[in-house]
Structure 1
Amino acid sequence: MAWANPSGSGTLSVLTGLRGAVVIVRPTGELTMSTAPYFRARLEQAAAFNTPPLVVVDTEEITFCDSAGLGVLTAALHEIENGGGDSC
C-alpha cells in the first residue's frame, strides 16, 4: 500500500515480512510529515505481532526523511523497548 503525500511531492510504501520471530519493516520512498501517520500505523502493527516485539526497520530505500519521520522512528524504538522487545 502506498500513502500519497497530499502536496503530490512524494509517496511512501511499506512492506512487512517475517523472518523467524522478527518482523521486518521495509519502507520505500519519502518519510515526511504527510506519510508519517501511515508509517506509524504500520510500525504499531509490526510491534503487536509478537510478544515481546522484535522489529527490524530496513531504511535502505528511504529517499528522504524529515523530522516527523525521525520522530516516528524514535517513538517506535521507545515503545518497543518499553514493551520488553528489541528493535534495530
Structure 2
Amino acid sequence: MTTFTAERIYCSKQHERFRLMLIGSDESIIVQNNRPAMEAKKLDKPVQWYVVDGIVKDKEALVPVYKKMEETINNIPRVLQGTLNFIDKL
C-alpha cells in the first residue's frame, strides 16, 4: 500500500492545487481540481482532477487518492489564500 501526504498549496475561486508527497521519498506531484468553481456555480458534477507538475505513468492509479482527498476536504472549511481572518474588538 502506498501512502501519500497531501498539502493544499494554492486556492482560488476557480481551482485549488495540492502537493502529493510519497511517504519515505522526496518525490512529489502537484494536482489541481476545479472544486471551488463547481461549488460557486452550485453544480452537481464530479470534480475534475489534473496532474499539473510531476511524472505519473498510470493516471488511473491516482483515482483512489483523489476520492479519499475529496472525502477529507469536504469536511474542512475552505479559506481563500491571501485572506485575513480576524475579529474586530472595537
Higher strand fraction (1 or 2): 1
Higher helix fraction (1 or 2): 1
Relative to the length of structure 1, the TM-score reads 0.30
Higher relative contact order (CA 8 A, sep 6+): 1
- Which of 1 and 2 has greater Rg? 2
